[in-house]
């Protein structure tokens, strides 16, 4: 015999909770305490409705009652916008704990796991993935939050403040061999709305190899006495490779996978599967300029 469901699927009252239902639930729990969720709907009177001449049975599921109480009706539930400190705590804890929302919530008094999960999914996660390459090495929680606030459908709005530029410049040394200019260079006037996908480790590795190759090539060019134009602490790519260079600025996951922002153009790359080629194209140039690179 299989498990009986927590509640009957037929005759359930679903959807938004009415003020009347909230009132009944609060009064019942204040009188009888939490627990016994299965029997609570009936005991609390969250079950009977008069329809014409008939009493009909529309039970709230016990789990639904529990969720409503825990997430919204409890006296100690804090509502409203997350503070800067709370956001930083979420980012830090998520980095170490992952999607263990209840544990994260235990560090944020008054916040529920559901609320934190929603906030993460709608505000912070996309930023993390878009800026994964940068964030893993260089972005502080504060920067991630600032970027998250700067993104969204209003991202074209010039009144929005770009994120801070400190701590976002990395040298071209290191595993990723990236030279990243200050974030605000890239976010100004940029559309950050494209759908994202998570970059898996395989893609990461391939991209890292690709970037390493590019960096090596740049080093060879310098050794060979190629004339490179330096702008501040980075080098433009325009004078070599016909525009495809290693000293590129990478800012995240534009569709389909990731984009690079050079000095005045956007480069995207497409991934054709495990190993093989990636296709680069300059999306800021309507005349499709593309190049295929073998990366494995």
Question: Sign of the CA dihedral 65, 71, 76, 80?
Answer: negative
Closest distance to DNA from the beta carbon of 294 (Å): 32
For DNA, the closer CB: 14 or 30 = 14
Closest distance to DNA from the beta carbon of 176 (Å): 26
Polymer length in residues for the chain: 296
* Alpha-carbon gap, residue 219 to 30, rounded angstroms: 71
For DNA, the closer CB: 37 or 281 = 37
Question: Sign of the CA dihedral 188, 190, 196, 200?
Answer: negative
Q: What DSSP element (H or E) covers 239?
A: none
* Alpha-carbon gap, residue 30 to 222, rounded angstroms: 74
Closest distance to DNA from the beta carbon of 136 (Å): 19
Q: Is the peptide bond before 211 cis (omega within 30 degrees of 0)?
A: no
For DNA, the closer CB: 4 or 96 = 4
Q: What DSSP element (H or E) covers 55?
A: strand 54-57
Task: Round the CA-based radius of gyration of the chain to a whole number and report it.
Answer: 26
For DNA, the closer CB: 105 or 295 = 105
Secondary structure (DSSP) of 71-108: IIISTT---SPPPHHHHHHHHHHHHHH-S-HHHHHHTS
Closest distance to DNA from the beta carbon of 51 (Å): 19
Tell how strand 54-57 and strand 230-231 pair up.
unpaired
Q: Is the peptide bond before 152 cis (omega within 30 degrees of 0)?
A: no
* Both structure tokens of 244: 């495809």
The phi, psi pair for 222, rounded to 5°, reads -65, -45
CA 290 to chain centre: 29
Closest distance to DNA from the beta carbon of 87 (Å): 12
Residues binding DNA (CB under 7 A): 1-4, 6, 9, 12-17, 35-39, 61-64, 66-68, 71-72, 99-103, 113-115, 117-119, 121-123, 151-154, 156-157, 193
For DNA, the closer CB: 125 or 236 = 125
Cβ–Cβ < 8 Å for 126, 151: yes
Cβ–Cβ < 8 Å for 142, 212: no
Cβ–Cβ < 8 Å for 129, 199: yes
């Amino acid at each position: 015999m299989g498990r009986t469901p927590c509640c009957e699927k037929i005759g359930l009252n679903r959807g938004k909770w009415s003020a009347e239902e909230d009132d009944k639930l609060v009064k019942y729990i204040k009188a009888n305490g939490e627990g016994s969720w299965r029997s609570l709907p009936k005991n609390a009177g969250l079950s009977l409705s008069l329809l014409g001449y008939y009493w009909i049975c529309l039970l709230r599921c016990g789990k639904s009652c529990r969720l409503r109480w825990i997430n919204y009706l409890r006296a100690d539930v804090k509502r409203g916008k997350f503070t800067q400190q709370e956001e930083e705590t979420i980012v830090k804890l998520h980095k170490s704990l992952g999607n263990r929302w209840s544990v994260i919530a235990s560090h944020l008094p008054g916040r529920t796991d559901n609320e934190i999960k929603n906030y993460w999914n709608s505000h912070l996660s996309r930023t993390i993935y878009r800026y994964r390459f940068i964030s893993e090495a260089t972005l502080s929680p504060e920067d991630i939050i600032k970027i998250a606030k700067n993104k969204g459908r209003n991202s074209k709005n010039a009144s929005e403040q770009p994120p801070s530029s400190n701590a976002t410049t990395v040298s071209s040394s290191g595993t990723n061999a990236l030279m990243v200019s200050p974030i605000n260079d890239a976010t100004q006037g940029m559309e950050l709305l494209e759908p994202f996908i998570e970059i898996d480790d395989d893609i990461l590795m391939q991209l890292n190899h690709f970037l390493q190759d590019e960096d090596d090539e740049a080093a060879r060019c310098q050794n060979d006495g190629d004339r490179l134009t330096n702008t501040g602490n980075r080098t433009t790519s325009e004078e070599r490779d016909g525009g495809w260079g290693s000293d590129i600025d990478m800012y995240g996951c534009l569709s389909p996978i990731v984009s690079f922002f050079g000095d005045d153009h956007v480069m995207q790359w497409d991934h054709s599967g495990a190993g093989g080629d990636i296709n680069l194209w300059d999306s800021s140039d309507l005349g499709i300029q593309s190049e295929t690179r073998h990366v494995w």
